Amino acid sequence: MVSAEISGDLTVSSRYDDESVRRFRELGYWRDGSAAALLDHWADTTPDRPYVSDGVADLTYGDTRDRAYRLGARLLELGVRPGDRVVVQLPNWSEFIVSYLALGRIGAVMVPIMMVYRDAEVEHVLANSDAVAAITTGTFRSFDHAAMFRGLQSSSPSLRHLVIARADPAPGETSFDEASGAGAAIPGADVLGPYPDPDLPHVIVYTSGTESTAKGCVHTWNTLDFSGRGLATDVFAMTDRDVMFMPSPVAHATGLVVGVLVPLTVGAPTHLLDVWEPTEALRRIERYGCTTSASATPFVRMALDAARSSSSDISSMRFWLCAGAPIPPALGAEFSTAFSGGLLMPLYGCSEIMAGTSCHLEDPPEKRSTSDGSPALAGVEITLMGPDGEDAAPGEEGEICYWGPGAILGYWREPERTAATIDSRGRHHTGDLGRADADGFVRVTGRLKDIIIRGGTNISAGEVEGHLSAHPSVAGVAVVAYPDERMGERACAVVVPADGATPTLEELTGFLRTERRISPQKLPEKLVLVDQMPMTATGKVQKFRLRELAAGA
């Protein structure tokens, strides 16, 4: 069991009142299952049906269970216990899904980390989560992840074990293949124990949001399964004849829920793409007969550009869920032509709530381009809070607030942040702004949060500013978004140089990459030098003016 003291008093009873919990269970929003029980169902009834492929490995449901349960048993031998946090930093490989299901079987809490995260971000996650083990790989895209974790062990006393996939482990480390591979007996409940409690922490997803340090979003099996099951049935209308295509990182909220849980819900296959390259993506869609997908909007734009010169048959794709930016009418029409009548549908959500709003198959076509949808799933209530604290009327802008069975219990070991985000009505405040029409369809209009959304991924401006301010050539700095056709937004650093200094973009990004060791995706892609920052009368930087400056530079 995970004690309230360890989890920061994050329990179902501290998050929801008794009536809400009763209602969630009565209406079937929470079903008290587990990821392992779902895997067992499909492995027992359809053991030879494909589940996960990645261009290298092809695993059936039976294969996946065998490997996951062997890995789970090995982790127990290493001393991992129910409630322990285990970091998983892996690409879109079958090993990620095997790791997730292994941890879900033994009741350990998976902490997925994006592959682009480097020492600074990973060290914070390790310290905040007190992870006892990490499952990772060696060199991927010219960066040695195993070496990074080895270097961080000295500053992370709880991190006792490293499990290495698709690379050679060092002495004292564990080989993923040997731990999960064929040859050993498949352990049963006598070794693995009972299924874990579905109301205890199951996954902690770290997200930057507005603050300079990432916060851990604590999901139980019930909160996560609610979104995965609801998206599978209510949005994708998915069956076991579908094949999910997942180019979004499965260590990210979208990839985890849509790429892993949605197919698992209906016993369908999922195909993972580890490195985004649009022409290769189209080849994979043809090769594996993919029918559904989800990604940030820029992925769709690049896929459509590649389709003009590609000979791949992509007519199997019927449905692509699109997040992170509005869908222009022309983009939806172009998608339908390229994918032989396939539908491009909008989704709005975040790591804290997963699925907030979405359009559905029965919605009028014009809603797909004029809104980000209505509440995505039955049981979800979306309200907009105006500046006066009251609910905003239709057409008026307000902060988007979520109430429903899919919200996190809170932030791991962050009671102040949890209290600041969840109000007295039990609503989760997203920090995003929107307007709702008379039919309840919401259009996201902006955000209260100071972030840049690059290709659907949030970048905390405050975090990057904090790192840049440590550079000797920087006297003042602000990081803002500027529009980009492909990525939606990119980051621009607006810098007041120190006396006598003339910093360059290459100098600053090199400092961030090698000295501060932050994720490459957070590096500013434009630099503007100014004599002084535009300020309000109360001394706040006028970032709207800086965004205008960055857009025109």
pLDDT of residue 183: 73
Reply yes or no on whether the pLDDT at 1 is more than 50: no
Residue in 106, 110, 98 with CA at minimum distance from that of residue 81: 106
Identify the CA nearest to 234 among candidates 406, 359, 365: 359
The answer, yes or no, to whether residue 134 has pLDDT greater than 50, is yes
Q: CATH top-level class for 451-552?
A: alpha beta
- 3 pLDDT band (50/70/90 cuts)? very low
Percent of the chain with pLDDT over 70: 97
How high is the mean pLDDT of the chain? Answer: 93
Whether 207 has a pLDDT exceeding 90, the answer reads no
- The pLDDT-based confidence of 185 (bands split at 50, 70, 90) is confident
What pLDDT band is residue 32 in, cutting at 50, 70 and 90?
A: confident
Query: According to the 3-state scheme, what is the secondary structure of 134-170?
Result: EEEECEECCEEHHHHHHHHHHHCCCCCEEEEECCCCC
What mean pLDDT comes out for the span 152-171? Answer: 97
Distance CA 92, CA 116 (A): 12
* pLDDT for 450: 80
pLDDT of residue 209: 52
Higher pLDDT, 197 or 453: 197
pLDDT score for 6: 45
Question: Which of residues 325 and 309 earns the better pLDDT score?
Answer: 309
Q: Band of the pLDDT at 179, cuts 50, 70, 90?
A: very high
pLDDT of residue 138: 98
DSSP conformation letters of 376-407: SSTT-EEEEE-TTSSBPPTTS-EEEEEESTTS
Class of domain 31-198: alpha beta
Q: Average pLDDT for residues 25-33, to the nearest whole number?
A: 95
- Which residues belong to CATH 3.40.50.980 in the chain? 31-198
pLDDT in tens, 335-344: 999 999 999 9
Look at residue 208 in the predicted model and tell me its pLDDT. Answer: 64
Read off the pLDDT of each residue in 461-484 and give the average, rounded to a whole number: 91
- Cα-based distances in Å from 375 to 146, 212, 238, 255, 296: 41, 30, 19, 20, 19
Mean pLDDT of 174-181: 96
Q: How many helices (H) and strands (E) does the chain have?
A: 21, 28
Summarised one tens digit per residue, pLDDT across range 363-412 is 998 898 889 999 999 999 999 999 888 999 999 989 999 999 999 999 99
Least confident of 103-107, 129-133, 460-464, 513-517: 460-464
pLDDT above 90 as % of the chain: 82
Say what the pLDDT of residue 481 is: 94
Please compute the mean of the pLDDT values over residues 173-200 and round it to a whole number.
Answer: 93
Q: How confident is the model at residue 4 (pLDDT cuts 50, 70, 90)?
A: very low
Task: Convert the pLDDT of each residue in 406-446 to its tens digit.
Answer: 999 999 999 999 999 999 999 999 999 899 999 999 998 87
Which tokens go with 86? 């285990």
Long-range contacts of 470-474 (CB under 8 A, 24+ apart): 470/516, 471/503, 471/507, 471/508, 471/511, 472/498, 472/501, 473/497, 473/498, 473/501, 473/502, 473/503, 473/507, 473/508, 474/498, 474/501, 474/503, 474/508
Residues of the chain with CATH 3.30.300.30: 451-552
pLDDT for the residue 9: 76
What's the average model confidence in pLDDT over 288-307? 93
What per-residue confidence (pLDDT) applies to 212?
61
pLDDT computed for residue 381 by the predictor = 97
- Please give the pLDDT value at position 312: 96
What's the pLDDT tens digit per position in 512-539?
999 999 999 999 999 999 999 998 655 6
Q: Band the pLDDT of 122: cuts 50, 70, 90.
A: very high
Q: By CB neighbour count within 10 A (0-12 exposed, 13-18 middle, 19+ buried), where does 25 fall?
A: middle
Confidence of residue 115 (pLDDT cuts 50, 70, 90): very high
Q: Are 493 and 468 in contact (CB under 8 A)?
A: yes
